[in-house]
Amino acid sequence: MEKKRVQLIIRGKVQGVFFRASTKDKANELRLTGFVMNRGDGTVEVVAEGDEDQLHKLVDWCREGPDLSHVKDVQLDWQTYIAQFEEFTIN
């Protein structure tokens, strides 16, 4: 199975709604590494690495988000896997 890396910028009502904690839980469930963080412009950034199939599942999940969120847009940037992370963290 091919390993990849993806960066997501998630727009909408995504800060203060447990988006980061829920994303970390989902990434851990999918055995992905990387991070999730709130950005100053109100978006959430996710960078994740792992099996491509699992990354697609995380992307699909991020398009919905946790119950209290309202995702308007997800910008994707697929990148080369570089094994940068040992775990998935909230930054």
pLDDT digits (tens, 9 = 90+) for 72-89: 999 999 999 999 999 999
Distance CA(77)–CA(16), nearest Å, equals 24
CATH architecture observed for domain 3-84: 2-Layer Sandwich (3.30)
Q: What is the DSSP letter of 16?
A: S
Reported residue count of the chain is: 91
What is the tens place of the pLDDT at every residue in 8-59? 999 999 999 899 999 999 999 999 999 999 999 999 999 999 999 999 999 9
pTM of the model: 0.96
Check if 5 is active-site: no
Above 90 in pLDDT, residue 1? Answer: no
From the candidates 20, 28, 39, 91, which is the catalytic residue? 20
The residue annotated as part of the active site, out of 38, 39, 63, 91, is: 38
Residues 31, 49: contact at Cβ < 8 Å? no
| Whether residue 20 lies in the annotated active site | yes
CA distances from 4 to 39, 58, 71 (A): 23, 12, 24
Domain ranges of the chain: 3-84
How much is the pLDDT for 51?
98
